[in-house]
Amino acid sequence: MRFPEFDEEWEEKTLGEICEMQAGKFVSASEIKEQHFDGLFPCYGGNGLRGYTKSYNYDGKYSLIGRQGALCGNVNFANGKFHATEHAVVVTPLNGINTVWMFYLLTNLNLNQFATGMAQPGLSVQNLEKVESTIPKAIDEQEKIASFLTLIDGRISTQNKIIKELELLIKSISQIIFHGHRYKFKKASLGSICTIKKGEQINSSVLSESGLYAVMNGGITPSGYYSQYNCVGNTISISEGGNSCGYVQFNDKKFWSGGHCYTLSEINAEISNKYLYYFMKFSENLIMSLRVGSGLPNIQKKDLEKFNVAFPEINQQYQISKFLDLLTEKIQVEKSLKTSLIRQKQYVLKKMFI
């Protein structure tokens, strides 16, 4: 795929022939802050943005390649003053190479495939310089490709903002609903209004990357897929163990509940299933605070059973659920659009780089 005004052959070059690469400088972890404040600059490491620090060692537009760890080969774009640590390779294009086009080229090369080492994968500047690629001879063509891909990225960025604003909106409205004074709430322990059941662990060797039924375990995404299910659709699940324990999810399709997953069933007739989900989702941080253990944190069933649920009369629960459903569906539509845009970008990347 090329723009019609360009027909000149691309030429084969190694990365070392079209750019200079240099690892950044060490900065102590104690000097890196999680939040941005005036006087601090972005700090990039092997996995992208690490935080913010008082010093900077680069000023301008640069591609950054992570060179250490499981995510080595990831590519970020920095603009302005920033600090690159020793685990980030800073890329400076040579004359005749567009900076933004260079970023998209590096993104398309899937540099992680050139990593060496098992326990701690890494990329050396020497190996990166040997990676072969093809480049347009005309910088005008590079600039046009870069501009086109930048437009797509801009649209994806806008989509991210739309999704973030909608998620903030649903949180704010949930705060008003569940902590406001509009409704008269009753309270009951979770264990008194439903049955909390722990799932059944299955061997990872029988799971596939795709299939009929998702297997939910301790994470926020499926562990894999299985040919059988042990839970029907419209079931609330709560992650039991792992770093995401306490994560609340509404499963609208049949699925397999694994050994690190709780499900809620036999819900009291006074409680709407969907209302209970929205209340539990709103209370997710409180549920996560129930976790115990450090190596592999988990939430005990007895503690979850004691968790207090507040609920108004059933018709009001239906009204609340219907309203929050509308917002949730809107978020899903926007997320689907974002996924479509990302796929379009990936397609264009593959087609525009020979």
Q: Is residue 6 part of a domain?
A: no
**Both 280 and 238 in a single domain?**
yes
Q: Is residue 245 part of a domain?
A: yes
**Both 130 and 66 in a single domain?**
yes
**Both 269 and 324 in a single domain?**
no
Backbone angles phi, psi at 297, to 5 degrees: -60, 150
Q: Is residue 3 part of a domain?
A: no
Residue that has been written with the tokens 């933004």 in this structure: 100
Nearest CA among 5, 266, 240, 290 for reference residue 144: 5
Q: Are 191 and 262 in contact (CB under 8 A)?
A: no
**Both 47 and 120 in a single domain?**
yes
Q: Is residue 213 part of a domain?
A: yes
Helix ranges (DSSP H) in the chain:
15-18, 99-108, 125-129, 139-179, 190-193, 273-282, 284-288, 301-305, 314-352
pTM of the predicted protein model:
0.79
Name residues whose C-beta falls within 8 Å of residue 81's C-beta, 6 or more positions apart in sequence. Answer: 41, 56, 58, 59
Model pLDDT, residue 354: 67
In angstroms and rounded to an integer, the radius of gyration of the C-alpha atoms of the chain is 25
Q: Is residue 353 part of a domain?
A: yes
Collect the ranges in the chain with pLDDT lower than 50.
none
Question: Cα(first)–Cα(last) distance of the chain, in Å?
Answer: 8
The neighbour count for residue 104, using CB atoms within 10 Å, is 25
DSSP code of residue 33? B
* Domain termination site, one of 96, 114, 136: 136
**Both 39 and 79 in a single domain?**
yes
**Both 128 and 34 in a single domain?**
yes
DSSP secondary structure of 202-248? --GGG-BSS-SEEEE-SSSS-SEEES--SB-SSEEEEE-BSTTTT-E
**Both 307 and 193 in a single domain?**
yes
**Both 274 and 203 in a single domain?**
yes
Domain with 163 in it: 138-185+312-354
Model pLDDT, residue 117: 79
**Both 179 and 324 in a single domain?**
yes
Q: Is residue 51 part of a domain?
A: yes
**Both 78 and 159 in a single domain?**
no
Model pLDDT, residue 120: 80
* Domain termination site, one of 136, 170, 198: 136
**Both 34 and 179 in a single domain?**
no
The contacts found for 230-237 with CB under 8 angstroms, 24 or more apart, are 230/199, 230/200, 230/256, 230/257, 231/199, 231/255, 231/256, 231/257, 231/263, 234/273, 234/274, 235/263, 235/264, 235/265, 236/263, 236/264, 236/273, 236/276, 236/277, 236/280, 237/261, 237/262, 237/263, 237/264
The number of distinct structural domains making up the chain is 3
For residue 217, the domain's CATH number is 3.90.220.20
- Express each pLDDT in 208-230 by its tens digit: 988 899 999 888 999 999 999 99
DSSP code of residue 194? S
Model pLDDT, residue 325: 96
Bridge partners, residue 251, by sequence? 235
**Both 77 and 40 in a single domain?**
yes
Q: Are 235 and 281 in contact (CB under 8 A)?
A: no
For residue 322, the domain's CATH number is 1.10.287.1120
Q: Is residue 5 part of a domain?
A: no
DSSP code of residue 142? H
